[in-house]
């Protein structure tokens, strides 16, 4: 038996039923491998490599889309990707994050800290800076809206209770959950985290808005002030 013939590098020269885009149209995106999906995003290859070659190298190097997303433009450029291709990858991953948020936010009822974590973890755990949000709830603990209160290093001078109250009053919120991330990956609260939480709880009590929890998102875990007894159930 002769040696098996290899396909040419250019995907356009592959048999039609082997091309990632045609396979997606025929079988559905859910049936493609991560490498094939990434190759479709890249569209064409460069430097003598096909899009599938480039995608395979990236997946072998980083294993997951999350790991790819965590890399900077400069790091990915060193892997032979141009700015346009890096932008395409970053945009596609961001669309996926927003799709998860869009699908899960509308009138979700919050019963436990995990309900909030499941929604926010994909978008917050890999952020390079701290993002502090308030999740506004109606009288039945259904999410009305999420509001970003501050971005950057969390300090008492940056996060003001009045900003939280202003948004909650505008939306006629009955309760809210505070949430922010720790880029270090460790969710244990700092002294500032604790003091900020207590200040916001006190301020919200004055206008009849209940703070149900403050959740800190780490890498693969989280800290809930309510679960740990730092916010008391009434």
Task: State whether 68 and 156 are in the same domain.
Answer: no
| In a domain? residue 3 | no
The 131-137 sheet, strands edge to edge: 143-151, 131-137, 175-181, 210-217, 222-224
- 208 HSE (CA, 13 A, CB side): 6
**Burial letters for 5-40: b for 16+ Cβ neighbours within 10 Å, e otherwise?**
eeeeeebeebeeeebbeebbeeeeeeebeebbbbbb
Task: State whether 111 and 173 are in the same domain.
Answer: yes
The pLDDT value recorded for residue 125 is 86
| In a domain? residue 76 | yes
| In a domain? residue 231 | no
pTM for this prediction: 0.64
Task: Report yes or no: 168 and 144 within 8 Å, Cβ to Cβ.
Answer: no
Question: Measuring CA to CA, which residue among 203, 142, 198, 206 is closest to residue 171?
Answer: 142
Average of per-residue pLDDT across 160-181: 94
| In a domain? residue 232 | no
| In a domain? residue 2 | no
The pLDDT value recorded for residue 1 is 44
Domain boundary among 51, 67, 101: 101
Domain boundary among 50, 68, 101: 101
Task: State whether 63 and 139 are in the same domain.
Answer: no
State the CATH number of the domain containing residue 137: 3.40.140.10
Residue with tokens 């909030």: 116
- Partners of 181 in the β-ladder: 217
Task: State whether 219 and 116 are in the same domain.
Answer: yes
Q: Which of 86-90, 122-126, 189-193, 213-217 is least confident?
A: 122-126
Model pLDDT for residues 22-73, shown as the tens digit of each residue:
888 888 888 889 999 998 888 887 777 888 888 999 999 999 988 898 888 8
The pLDDT value recorded for residue 213 is 96
The pLDDT value recorded for residue 5 is 44
Question: Measuring CA to CA, which residue among 119, 124, 99 is closest to residue 108?
Answer: 119
Model pLDDT for residues 107-151, shown as the tens digit of each residue:
678 899 998 998 888 888 888 889 999 999 999 999 888 999 998
Task: State whether 203 and 113 are in the same domain.
Answer: yes
Q: DSSP letters of 45-60?
A: -BTTB-HHHHHHHHHH
| In a domain? residue 71 | yes
Task: State whether 63 and 163 are in the same domain.
Answer: no
Task: State whether 86 and 166 are in the same domain.
Answer: no
The pLDDT value recorded for residue 26 is 85
Task: Report yes or no: 202 and 225 within 8 Å, Cβ to Cβ.
Answer: no
Task: State whether 64 and 116 are in the same domain.
Answer: no
Q: Where in the sequence is the domain holding 196, given as residue range(s)?
A: 107-224
| In a domain? residue 5 | no
Look at residue 7 and tell me whether its pLDDT is greater than 50.
no
Distance, in Å, from the CA atom of 230 to the CA atom of 17, rounded to the nearest integer, reads 58
User: Do the bridges between strand 210-217 and strand 175-181 make them parallel or antiparallel, or are there none, so unpaired?
Assistant: parallel
Task: State whether 25 and 117 are in the same domain.
Answer: no
Domain count, the chain: 2
Task: State whether 28 and 61 are in the same domain.
Answer: yes
User: Do the bridges between strand 210-217 and strand 143-151 make them parallel or antiparallel, or are there none, so unpaired?
Assistant: unpaired
| In a domain? residue 96 | yes
Task: State whether 80 and 116 are in the same domain.
Answer: no
Task: State whether 38 and 56 are in the same domain.
Answer: yes
């Amino acid at each position: 038996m002769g040696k098996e013939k290899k396909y040419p590098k250019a995907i356009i020269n592959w048999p039609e039923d082997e091309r990632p885009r045609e396979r997606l149209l025929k079988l559905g995106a859910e049936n493609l491998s991560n490498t094939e999906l990434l190759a479709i995003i890249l569209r064409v290859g460069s430097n003598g490599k096909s899009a599938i070659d480039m995608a395979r190298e990236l997946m072998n190097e980083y294993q997951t889309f999350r790991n790819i997303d965590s890399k900077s433009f400069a790091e990915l450029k060193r892997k032979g990707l141009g700015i346009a291709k890096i932008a395409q990858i970053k945009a596609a991953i961001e669309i996926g994050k927003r799709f998860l948020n869009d699908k899960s936010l509308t009138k979700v009822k919050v019963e436990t800290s995990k309900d909030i974590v499941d929604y926010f973890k994909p978008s917050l755990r890999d952020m390079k800076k701290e993002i502090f949000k308030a999740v506004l709830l109606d009288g039945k603990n259904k999410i009305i809206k999420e509001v970003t209160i501050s971005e950057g290093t969390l300090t008492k001078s940056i996060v003001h209770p009045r900003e939280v109250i202003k948004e909650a009053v505008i939306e006629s919120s009955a309760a809210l959950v505070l949430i922010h991330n720790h880029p270090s990956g460790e969710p244990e609260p700092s002294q500032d985290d604790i003091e900020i939480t207590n200040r916001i709880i006190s301020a919200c009590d004055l206008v009849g808005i209940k703070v149900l929890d403050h959740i800190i998102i780490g890498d693969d875990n989280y800290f809930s002030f309510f679960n740990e007894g730092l916010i008391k159930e009434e």
